[in-house]
């Protein structure tokens, strides 16, 4: 079951559709609360902030320190990283210094990291998890994701991908039950990958599926599949590619942004939230980091339809579809 505690903008849109959400209910006494204080309740019972700070391609201790500091100052309480980002240690050091500065403790933040595709399998998964914990300077992570359904150095069409990722999931379930991983999930899983996992879940359904999702690459079938099963869909690439501004400069997005007196980035992020999708925007600019969590506004139903009707289909990141 996925319960959602959600901002007034999201409440407005979702309640147009239903008074219930994925078998749970929406809290309705939160209209005056900022997005910084809103969260999803995962199928583990954990509360995960609706908006997290992404750190893909952000490197260097001083840069990471400035980004985390700007995030904490703006109100972010969730931070997303991965073993392949090669910045876990820098993030751990920054948090160790900065949390006391903001009168926060480890329990006040939600930390996500992910398995390197080269570390799939029996034994290597556990080693990878413990390596990430050590680098991050924490005894647990709030959410640990299988970053990719395929295994490094295996062809995408190899049936061994499915066998090995099942072994990986079984090992993560053990670590989850030991308390090292408060929640476990996946990233870049298609409906087919999810069906296979759920059939052999070793007793634990994923809490989150983190995928590319934005008006240029909508995945309604995947969204419905996840929501029907209490799996939170969390979006990356919400603003398009790292060096590709086509989504941010989309004329339809720009028109809605102008109408609402908001930035295109804010419109794109709120578009996701109003569908019950988490977001993890990234930036090294303190101003952008701050703006990306100022999402206490409503995109009208008609403007949501307009954004959902953008005909462009463009994927800005990796395509997991070919992976068996």
Nearest-angstrom CA–CA distance, 48 and 46: 6
Cross-strand pairs, 78: 110
Active site residues: 85
The tokens for 288 are 């952008």
Backbone angles phi, psi at 279, to 5 degrees: -135, 150
Between CA 12 and CA 21, with CA 18 as vertex, the angle to 5 degrees is 95
Cross-strand pairs, 4: 26, 40
Q: Which 3 state secondary structure label does DSSP give 232?
A: strand
For 60: left if phi > 0, alpha if psi spans -120 to 50, otherwise beta; the answer is: left
3-state secondary structure 288-300: HHHHCCCCCCCCC
């Amino acid at each position: 079951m996925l319960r959602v505690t959600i901002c007034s903008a999201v409440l407005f849109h979702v309640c147009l559709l239903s008074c219930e959400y994925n078998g749970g209910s929406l809290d309705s006494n939160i209209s005056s609360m900022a997005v910084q204080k809103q969260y999803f309740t995962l199928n583990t019972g954990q509360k995960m902030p609706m908006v997290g700070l992404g750190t893909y391609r952000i490197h260097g201790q001083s840069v990471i320190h400035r980004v985390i500091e700007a995030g904490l100052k703006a109100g972010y309480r969730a931070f997303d990283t991965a073993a392949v980002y090669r910045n876990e240690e820098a993030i751990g050091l920054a948090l160790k210094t900065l949390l006391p500065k903001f009168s926060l403790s480890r329990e006040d933040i939600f930390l996500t990291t992910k398995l390197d595709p080269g570390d799939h399998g029996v034994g290597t998964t556990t080693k990878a998890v413990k390596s990430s914990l050590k680098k991050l300077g924490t005894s647990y992570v709030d959410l640990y994701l299988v970053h990719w359904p395929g295994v490094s150095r295996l062809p995408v069409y190899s049936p061994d991908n499915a066998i090995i990722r099942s072994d990986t999931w079984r090992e993560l379930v053990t670590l989850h039950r030991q308390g090292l991983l408060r929640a476990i999930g996946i990233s870049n899983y298609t409906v087919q990958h999810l069906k296979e996992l759920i059939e052999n879940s070793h007793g634990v359904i994923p809490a989150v599926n983190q995928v590319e999702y934005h008006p240029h690459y909508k995945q309604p079938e995947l969204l419905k599949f996840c929501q029907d099963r209490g799996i939170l869909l969390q979006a990356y690439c919400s603003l398009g590619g790292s060096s590709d501004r086509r989504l941010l400069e989309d004329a339809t997005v720009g028109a809605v942004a102008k109408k609402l007196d908001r930035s295109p980035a804010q419109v794109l992020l709120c578009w996701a939230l109003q569908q019950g999708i988490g977001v993890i925007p990234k930036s090294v600019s303190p101003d952008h980091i701050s703006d990306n969590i100022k999402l206490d506004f409503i995109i009208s139903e008609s403007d949501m339809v307009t954004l959902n009707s953008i005909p462009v289909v463009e994927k800005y990141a990796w395509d997991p579809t070919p992976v068996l």
